[in-house]
Amino acid sequence: MLWVLGTSGLAREMAQLWRVLNGADAEVMFAAKSDEDLIQAGSLAVLAVGESHARLRLYERGSSQWEFPTLVHPAADIGDSVVLGDGVVATSGVVATTDVDVGDGSLLNWN
């Protein structure tokens, strides 16, 4: 099961990405900020916050409690020399070619 930290459109996109990677029946739970205390230590979680400073704060606060898997959509084009940190999300249509180092908890979203 994956906890999606957020409740916006981006949260729905993260749930869809999880199901693309793990099957249509993969379980997903959504958590607003007020629900974070319900998430057990060691749980898988994905950040569904687009604003970079808020995203970083949530990653830093949660990284000692939860596991943030790196999620890469099959339609993302990630080069062999690209380094993705923990908890990075690369959505469909993203292109990162060579010598890119993406920090922990970052979001690569098609624009």
The SS3 call for residue 11 is helix
DSSP labels, the chain: -EEEE--SHHHHHHHHHHHHHH-TT--EEEE-GGGGGGSPTT-EEEE---SHHHHHHHHHHHTTTSB---EE-TT-EE-TT-EE-TT-EE-TT-EE-SS-EEPTT-EE---
pLDDT-based confidence at residue 106 (cuts at 50, 70, 90): very high
44 residue type, one letter: L
Taking the C-alpha atoms of residue 3 and residue 39, their distance in angstroms, rounded to an integer, is 8
- Evaluate if residue 90 carries a pLDDT over 80: yes
Q: What is the mean pLDDT of the chain?
A: 95
H helices of the chain, where? 9-22, 52-62
Burial class (CB in 10 A: 0-12, 13-18, 19+), 42: exposed
What is the pTM assigned to this prediction? 0.92
| pLDDT tens column, 41-52 | 999 999 999 999
